[in-house]
Homo-oligomer: A and B are copies of this chain.
Amino acid sequence: MSLTFTRGSVLALALGLAISGTAHSQTAPYAAQQAAAAQLRDKALKGSIAYELVESLTTEVGARPAGSAAAHRASDWAVARFKALGYDKVTVETFPVPNWQRGAETAEVTAPYPQKLFITALGGSVATPPLGLSAQVVLFKRFDDLLAQPEGSLKGKIVVVTERIIRTQDGAGYGAGYRIRGQGAVEAARRGAVGYMLRSLGTDSHRVPHTGSMTYDPAVSKIPAAALSNPDADLLERMTDRRAPVTVKMIVTPTTGPDLEARTVVGEITGREKPEEIVVIGGHLDSWDLATGAIDDGAGVAITMAAGKQILDRAERPRRTVRVALWGAEEIGKAGEAFAAVHGAQVDRHIIGSESDFGGGKVLKLALPAGTDRVFASALYSVVSVAGVIPERTPAVNGGADLEEMNALGMPVASLRQDGTDYFDWHHTPDDTLDKIKPADLDQAVAVWSAFTLMVADSAVEFRAPKAAAK
């Protein structure tokens, strides 16, 4: 894209429309909402309660995997905080989640060069024998190289994939690498492997491996799966490059017990004119067991709770209802389904939804649903551009993991895209701690979320295709 476009033409491109008239005449119907949203924006830019919220959650609760005692302390914290902030209604939605508990996790090269390796089990992995699994390593520098192996050709081996994810601002590198973690154990087992290890889906160079979810295929034997820290993946590459067989011993001893109860907490700001019309924003309250859940996703929890608080602090409620949902099992992919089970029957009343789940960085881009009213979009972009947000030209198709099911049922979604350049340095590791969050960046995100949420909730704008919107 050329950088010589004017702002007007960029907006036109963003919305796929030709523009006529000035920005002012265009957005005049939303002048009142713009003024109100600008006020919230400027207030947040001067300082919001978001950092205090994430400081409190990470200090007083810390790691809170779905269904754990700590997760219940987190949901109690959320209920108490929503009430203290003056939310009109607070509800807790419970649902069952698998009970996977991390055990020991160690690994070492036993030959030809004995060295310790830093690994962590992937969430859901089966265990090795308690005394470990020893086997020769077959290392692939690209996942596609593993896929190119014939079935049965890796019998008895521990497969290691050391493909790196790329550092990108928008997380696309992680997206591209996701299958290496998600499907690697199945693909390795299909070819006869007895264990699977991947280079962490992380952009750092620390001895801190990144956990994350994975899947098994009922038709393929389940083998233990773990992530190596980046420097350990480098080490195995250097050893296998030397051509002598490399033998590794890995021990992971996770266990699975009876299901646990997860809790999604919803704080509501009840609309003054159209309370039955709902705008859903939020973040997820659960974290990985390894992390303290500051960037993933204490930040999203704090940003959206604080955005709601900004709206609550106004003299009147917005026309529509705003719900701030703090989902209780995002990391293991169980909260969205449970949320849709509760709210799916009223999906038509859900105007739009969006989840904040990409850390504490600044919002850089805002994507709206395809076909969004151009006047409304221009009015909204005009407000958030002051905070440094540009329009995303491609319409939003993903509103966050916990809104996938509601989106599939027909709820439109928006996407407020943050700067995630460093996010995968810390994601899903013990390094996900409060010091990674810059208060001023968090406040900028609150400014943008407040403005977006208020403009949507305090207007009559519809995001569904005309037919649906007209009913």
What residues make up the interface of A, taking CB atoms closer than 8 Å to B? 55, 58-63, 70, 113-116, 118, 205-208, 230-231, 234-235, 238-239, 242, 292, 429-431, 433-436
Contacts and interface: CB of A to CB of B under 8 A. Distances in A.
Contacts of A61: 113
Given A231-B431, A238-B59, A239-B59, A205 B115 contact: no
Nearest to A55: B238
Q: How many copies does the complex hold?
A: 2
Of listed A239, A292, A436, residue having the most chain B CB within 10 A? A292
23 contacts: A55-B238, A58-B235, A59-B113, A59-B239, A59-B242, A61-B113, A62-B114, A62-B116, A62-B235, A70-B114, A118-B430, A205-B433, A206-B206, A206-B431, A207-B208, A207-B429, A230-B435, A231-B292, A231-B434, A231-B435, A234-B433, A234-B435, A235-B433
Of listed A59, A292, A429, residue having the most chain B CB within 10 A? A59
Given A234-B435, A430-B118, A435-B234, A62 B206 contact: no
Given A231-B434, A434-B231, A434-B234, A113 B62 contact: yes
Nearest to A425: B206
A414 to B, nearest CB: 32
Given A62-B113, A235-B433, 8 more contacts: A59-B235, A60-B113, A62-B114, A63-B115, A205-B431, A205-B433, A231-B431, A238-B434
Contacts of A242: 59
Contacts of A208: 206-208
A157 to B, nearest CB: 21
A465 B458 CA distance: 85
Contacts of A205: 431, 433, 435-436
By Cβ-Cβ distance, the 9 closest A-B pairs, closest first, are A207-B430, A231-B433, A62-B115, A59-B238, A205-B435, A60-B113, A206-B431, A207-B431, A206-B206
